[in-house]
């Protein structure tokens, strides 16, 4: 890439992770320098925020946001950091595996807490406040863990971009007194990836993930076997190289979302027949592709109608 070119993220050719690419639109070196300074200031602000805390429990998912937060916390607070991940039916098993591996690599003590949101009818019934009940249970348990380990603060990986999306879980975060250092530092997703890349964190180009319940339309009851089916369906796509793929569950219809540029690849080689055969074995009668491509929180659109 020529000096001064604008860099953004896209899915790699093998579809596994994100990678940088240069656009043809150039930025001035002066603007690039200002961006670097801005990110550096935000990084310092993040470190200052964490340094002001005696000890922290990091609500850890293994994604890019919470991994940068965990790394910064470890750098500033050393052994006074505990990573905690929810072992839940809504968390893809591959995400849990990644979280354990990265926490170990960073040298941070990591424990799991079992959450049982599926036994809560307020979550199970899947209304628009679903995420609130899930987060409420999780952070209530994290408060107990923090007390047991004499930890002063609970922090999570919310970033400055998250405020623009519909996130009822944010109310539970406030009610439980959880701090959001990345958001407080003003860090956006692309800045988090830049810092993570600089720090050589394995999650720097990892596609965003979300709990499996987000694949089920509001008003449709959430069941454990439904979540398991969605996870298996998405693993089929990921194993074929479609990173960040989503399978939205509409009864016997599977609606596949991948990046717009990846849509043609669904029809190439053996991919189409593999996807159709595998998803039908999982119980889907109809396999569809969303021509709009992957959209973050696409089922939230229905709430705005």
Instruction: Decide if 226 is inside a domain.
Output: yes
What's the domain range around 184?
A: 40-198
Single residue among 132, 165, 198 that ends a domain in this structure: 198
- Same structural domain, 93 and 145: yes
pLDDT in tens, the chain (305 residues): 434 444 444 444 344 444 444 333 444 444 555 566 699 999 999 999 999 999 999 999 999 999 999 999 999 999 999 999 999 999 999 999 999 999 999 999 999 999 999 999 999 999 999 999 999 999 999 999 999 999 999 999 999 988 766 677 888 888 889 999 999 999 999 999 999 999 999 999 999 888 999 999 999 999 999 999 999 999 999 999 999 999 999 999 999 999 999 999 999 989 999 999 999 999 999 999 999 999 876 666 655 55
| Contact indicator for 258, 291 with CB cutoff of 8 Å | no
Instruction: Decide if 16 is inside a domain.
Output: no
Single residue among 140, 172, 198 that ends a domain in this structure: 198
pLDDT at 167: 72
- Same structural domain, 224 and 270: yes
Instruction: Decide if 206 is inside a domain.
Output: no
Please count the structural domains in the chain: 2
pLDDT at 17: 46
Instruction: Decide if 8 is inside a domain.
Output: no
CATH number of the structural domain spanning residue 266: 3.30.70
- Same structural domain, 259 and 133: no
pTM of the model: 0.84
- Same structural domain, 80 and 190: yes
Q: Which residues contact 118 (CB under 8 A, 6 or more apart)?
A: 89, 124, 222, 223, 224
- Same structural domain, 112 and 185: yes
pLDDT at 231: 98
Find, among 23, 87, 22, the residue nearest to 61 by Cα. 87
Instruction: Decide if 35 is inside a domain.
Output: no
CATH number of the structural domain spanning residue 134: 3.40.50.620
């Amino acid at each position: 890439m020529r000096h001064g070119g604008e860099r953004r993220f896209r899915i790699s050719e093998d579809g596994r992770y994100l990678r940088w690419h240069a656009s043809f639109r150039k930025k001035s070196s002066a603007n690039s320098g200002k961006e670097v300074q801005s990110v550096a200031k935000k990084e310092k602000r993040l470190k200052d925020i964490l340094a002001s805390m005696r000890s922290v429990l990091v609500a850890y998912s293994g994604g890019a946001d919470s991994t940068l937060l965990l790394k910064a916390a470890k750098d500033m607070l050393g052994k006074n950091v505990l990573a905690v991940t929810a072992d839940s039916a809504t968390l893809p098993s591959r995400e849990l595996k990644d979280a354990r591996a990265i926490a170990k690599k960073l040298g941070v003590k990591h424990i799991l807490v079992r959450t049982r949101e599926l036994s809560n009818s307020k979550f199970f019934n899947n209304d628009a406040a679903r995420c609130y009940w899930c987060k409420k249970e999780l952070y209530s348990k994290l408060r107990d863990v923090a007390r047991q380990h004499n930890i002063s603060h609970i922090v999570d990986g919310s970033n400055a971009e998250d405020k623009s999306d519909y996130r009822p879980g944010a109310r539970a975060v406030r009610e439980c007194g959880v701090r959001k250092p990345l958001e407080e530092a003003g860090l956006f997703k692309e800045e988090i990836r830049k810092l993570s890349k600089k720090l050589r964190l394995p999650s720097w180009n990892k596609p965003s993930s979300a709990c499996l319940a987000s694949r089920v339309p509001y008003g449709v009851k959430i069941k454990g076997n439904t979540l398991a089916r969605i996870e298996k369906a998405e693993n089929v796509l990921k194993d074929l190289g479609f990173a960040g793929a989503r399978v939205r569950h509409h009864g016997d219809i599977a609606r596949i979302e991948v990046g717009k540029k990846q849509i043609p690849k669904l029809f190439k080689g053996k991919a189409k027949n593999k996807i159709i055969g595998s998803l039908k074995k999982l119980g889907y009668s109809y396999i569809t592709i969303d021509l709009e491509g992957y959209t973050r929180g696409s089922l939230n659109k229905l709430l705005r109608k």
